[in-house]
Every structure is written in structure tokens, then in C-alpha cells.
Amino acid sequence: MRTKKVKPPLKKYEYTLSVSKEYDEVSKRDYISFRFRTTKEFLTFRYVLKIEVITEEKNLCFNMLGFSAPVGDLSSSGTAGYEYRMFDYKVAEYNILIDKKDSDKSRFRMIVQRSKSQPIKLSHIPKKSFIEISGENDS
């Protein structure tokens, strides 16, 4: 008698993106961190997301190219991730585009402010998307 293969329930999002303002101790500078993660957990490797970043003035484009296996001898399970650090930013509004390998696109706006309590404000976040976008002050 064969048993049915149990599939995990579908997740609402394939990826998560967390945007926050951070401080680099080595270079002694502030930067804006874009942390991408998959919602899927991998059993054999903790893969690395391959993302091409294109910056043009107030526009940032993240092209999601796929995955690559980690470099090293030990394997571990977990989600795939990628972090982009934007050091040379201005107090301004940025248009962000996330392009998932010719299949889906998601756009939103990021406003960098001088405020200490809310240095980054995200707006125009799409309600239906393949990626869940959150800022450091989102709950």
C-alpha cells in the first residue's frame, strides 16, 4: 500500500525583504540594509540568493537571478538569503523595483528621512506580491 506524499502548505509569500538603517563599526558609517530571505527552508544547504543590483540616481532595481550553493565543507539547513548594503544614500525618495527572473515584479517607494525615530519610511507597498516587504518600524 502506497502512502500519499504530504506537501507542505503553500506560503503566502516566496520571499521576505526587511529594510532598515544600520551602522557599520568597521567603516564608521551608516548604511541602509536590504535583507532578502526565502520563506522556504532548504534541508541540505543554506543557499545564497543571487541578486543583481542596479542603481541609477533615485532608482534601485534588484534582479533576482536564482540560487547558488554555499562555499564551504559543512552543510546546514535553513533559508536562502542575501543582504545589500547601500552606503552612499541621500535624504530623498527612492523608487525600488524587485524583478523575479522575468516572471513577477514588485515596486514600492522608500523615503530616507533625517528623523532618528523613523529614518526610513516605506510606501506604495503592493498588497498582492511574491515578496513581503517590511521596514524596521513596521509591526
Low-confidence winner among 12-16, 72-76, 77-81, 128-132 (lowest mean pLDDT): 72-76
pLDDT of 73 strictly over 70? no
Whether 66 and 50 have beta carbons less than 8 Å apart is answered as yes
The model's pTM: 0.85
Contacts of 68 (CB under 8 A, 6+ apart): 47, 48, 50
Output the average pLDDT for the chain: 87
- The average pLDDT across 63-88 equals 84
Q: Which amino acid is at 18?
A: S
Got the DSSP string for 70-94?
PSSS----EEEEEEEEE-S--SSEE
Checking if the pLDDT of 139 tops 60, the result is no
Task: Return the pLDDT at 8.
Answer: 65
pLDDT per position as a tens digit, 94-115: 999 999 887 889 999 999 998 8
For the chain, domain boundaries: 15-135
